[in-house]
Amino acid sequence: MTLDQLPIGKEGRILTVGGEGALRRRLLDMGLTPHTKLMIRKVAPMGDPIELHVRSYELTIRLDDAKKIEIEEEPA
């Protein structure tokens, strides 16, 4: 499952961060690293961007970038 498929309010754990070059480096620099827990907080009215709660702060990323992040949903 990729990050863009995680429902609002559900928690997940990052498995892999895809992308190439500067995009991948930017995602990793923002704290989106493997084994990190995160939660989808909000989705913009048109569906893009999405707001995440990760490492005790809020982060907004584009849907195209979220599709490059492989996650597993945390059990409730």
The domain locations on the chain are 3-73
Q: Which helix (H) or strand (E) holds 64?
A: helix 63-66
AA identity, residue 52: L
Spatial neighbors of 21 by CB under 8 A, at least 6 apart, are: none
Digits of tens for pLDDT over the chain (76 positions)?
999 999 999 999 999 999 889 999 999 999 999 999 999 999 999 989 999 999 999 999 999 999 999 999 988 7
Intra-chain end-to-end CA distance of the chain, in Å? 17
| Residues β-bridged to residue 69 | 17
pTM of the model: 0.88
- Find, among 31, 8, 9, the residue nearest to 17 by Cα: 31
- Find, among 48, 70, 76, 72, the residue nearest to 61 by Cα: 48
Does domain 3-73 sit in CATH 1.10.760.10?
no
